[in-house]
Structure 1
Amino acid sequence: MQVKDRVQTKETPEITDGMLVTRTLAGDQQAFETLVRRYNTPLFNFICHCLGDYDLACDVSQQVFLQLYISMPTLRTGEPLKAWLFQVARNRCLDELRRKKAIHFSDMESSSEDDELSPLAILPDNQPLPDEMAERNDLQQKLRAAIDALPPKFRSVVMLRYTGQLSFSEIGKTLNMPEATAKTYFQRARPLLRAAMGAHWRPEHQKTEA
């Protein structure tokens, strides 16, 4: 009985990115699909916000995962892939924006994690009613405009934090800056976002701090 209880309470070890890479290289296609599912949503949100084009974001997202698949034999499997993926995504977005010359995005050039994420950043889809969807889209547009209006050195940090849901350590690795610098930029950007969002920011922001 005691042995049985021990078996029942034994925790299943987490499957790391490195394990999934190793399994993919060994021919396990489902392992790669698991990696895609693990990072697809925050990565796509980040790309879509950068480009402002849903269809193009779909294409770039596929390119990022294709580059992941091709690069697997040379990747270091001892650490998570999140920062690497967002660095690739950032570079792909820069390439697209330079090619299209649609907007100037030089701000993405690189020069405590317990902080809350804005509820306006990633709004879950729980099949909202049409009027709720309209309000949600309006808030998303206001947030996008507020982020785009930030000083260049703050903007990419905020985008990675809100739309990509990266930790400050991951942001630092993605942008090649110290973690403390990433956190400082984020903290300095928050009052600017609050001011830009006005009444739309305050109720939701206070709710997350409760």
Structure 2
Amino acid sequence: MRTQTKAKSVKTPTPEITDGTLVKKTIAGDQTAFEQLVQRYHLPLFNFICHCLNDYDLACDVLQQVFLQLYLYLPKLRTNEPLKAWLFQVARNRCLDELRRKRAVHFSELEGSSDDDDLSPLNIMPDKRPLPDEMAERNDLQAALKEAIDNLPPKFRSVVLLRYAGQLSFSEIGKTLNMPEATAKTYFQRARPLLRAALATQWQTLTAAN
């Protein structure tokens, strides 16, 4: 008796549509393609802008400006490269403009081993024991980290913000800040012990209070 075996169909994951393809579709009149671009970069851009400006409403406005600039510049963009570095460069420049207007923080000096786990600021906490109640609160932790980042030397600050808030790779950070990838990585590694020391001071203050 002859038996027949049916070949099982194996579903291969559909590759993600590239930024370049979405750009070309948008230029051709496909507004859905532009919405996909916005959806792809909305959250990391917003997190980065919020960290820079510390103002939710202003961050919303700046984010809209970034995507408006993207829409206007679509015909001029290189479609063979991801848009991430370009978008964060635009976002950073917009943040600098707002900060200069507010005169709140002078970021004019910002010019100037990589494991995925270093994307989380929690990994630089000085102690692995359970956090005190005050530090365990998300808002308090974010405030402590923001203060520590704000006190970094200017040349380190933008690299750290792009790494933590924007979740950019060192290659993307280098493109965004117009510096070699190795320099971005070096700045980040030098900033980590400074952040750890600043958080350790706050940690000691909180634990002493308890």
TM-score range, shorter chain: 0.7 to 0.9
Q: Which residue of 1 aligns with 2:65?
A: 63
- Distance in 2, matches of 1:27 and 1:179, equals 36
Q: 2:112 is matched by which residue type in structure 1?
A: S
Structure 2 length as normaliser, TM-score?
0.83
Aligned to 2:45: 43
User: Which residue of structure 2 aligns with residue 171 of structure 1?
Assistant: 173
Unaligned segments of structure 1, at least 5 residues: 122-130, 202-210
* Runs of 4+ more than 3 Å apart: 131-134
Correspondence for 1:96? 98
Cα deviation, residue 187, structure 1: 0.3
RMSD: 2.1
Query: What is the rounded CA distance, in whole Å, between the counterparts of 2:83 and 2:122 in structure 1?
Result: 26
Task: Evaluate the alpha carbon distance shift between residue 139 and residue 13 of structure 1 in structure 2; reply closer, same or farther with a 3 A threshold.
Answer: same
| Cα distance change on mapping 1:74 and 1:14 into 2, 3 Å | same
Deviations 1:97-123 (A, max 9, x none): 112212211232x224424212549xx
In structure 2, what residue type is equivalent to 1:184? T
- Answer whether contact 1:36 1:65 (CA < 8 A) is retained: yes
2:18 match: 16
* Counterpart residue number, 2:206: none
How far residue 37 of structure 1 moved from its aligned partner, in angstroms, is: 1.0
**What is the one-letter code of the residue matched to 1:154?**
F
Structure 2 letter corresponding to 1:151: P
Correspondence 1:22-41 to 2 at 5 A: 22-41=24-43
Query: Gapped runs of 5+ residues in structure 2?
Result: 1-5, 124-132, 204-210
Q: Which residue of 1 aligns with 2:140?
A: 138
TM-score of the superposition, structure 1-length normalised? 0.83
CA distance in 2, matches of 1:17, 1:113: 25
- Check the 8 A contact 2:49/2:59 in 1, yes or no: yes
CA spacing shift, 1:135–1:11, aligned 2, 3 Å: closer
- In the alignment, is the contact (CA less than 8 A) between 1:120 and 1:140 conserved in 2? no
Name the residue aligned to 1:118: 120
Contact persistence 2:48–2:162 (CA under 8 A) = yes
> What amino acid sits opposite 1:55 in the alignment?
D
SS class of match (1:111): coil
| Structure with greater Cα Rg | 2
Corresponding residue number in structure 1 for 2:159: 157
For 1:182, the equivalent position in structure 2 comes to: 184
Kept after mapping to 1: 8 A contact 2:49/2:62: yes
Look up the match of 1:191.
Answer: 193
Over 3 Å counting, the alpha-carbon distance change for 1:200 and 1:15 in structure 2 is farther
Identity of aligned residues (%): 77
- For the Cα contact (< 8 Å) 2:62–2:91, is it kept in 1? yes
